[in-house]
Homo-oligomer: A and B are copies of this chain.
Amino acid sequence: MILQKKKTFNDFAAAKGLRSTRQRDVILDMFLSTHQHVSVEDLYLKVKASHPGIGYATVYRTLKLFAESGLAREILLHDGQTRYEHVLAGEHHDHLVCTGCSAIIEFEDATIEKLQEEIALRHGFQIRSHKMEIYGLCADCSAKGQA
């Protein structure tokens, strides 16, 4: 699993003629050990804890490379912070975002995806990507709100 992902990135790097560096190895390890939806700041702090020499800009640049390699996906929610999440092969999902506690719930809906394609077709539009986010209160937060 993790080895497979490292291979994905190494193949990408090789194909692009990128050099292999200690920094990129460390950042990749750290990214693979995180859970969903890390902000650049989050990951930077995590990296800095064990490798204080690694700079901010490098984390930014490297995460962009991960996204480009297909390893990660960049997501922009409504808080002005870019986040990155793991991309599982052939999988796609969208998000429920709690405005109370910032929890993010993932979901997949094949019917919606299909309908999106039909809409695009109807407008002669070629889909390259899409985003769909539902904002509101998660179960916990709406329970608390009423208590």
- Interface residues of chain A, those whose CB is within 8 Å of chain B, are 76, 78, 96, 98-99, 105, 107, 109, 111-112, 115-116, 119-120, 123-139, 142
Contact = CB atoms under 8 A, between A and B. Distances in A.
Given A124-B139, A136-B125, A142-B124, A119 B131 contact: no
A93 to B, nearest CB: 11
Contact of A134 (B109, B127, B135, B136): B127
A96 B123 contact: yes
Contacts of A111: 111, 115
10 nearest A-B residue pairs (beta carbon): A124-B139, A128-B136, A130-B134, A127-B136, A132-B132, A126-B137, A126-B136, A126-B142, A129-B135, A96-B125
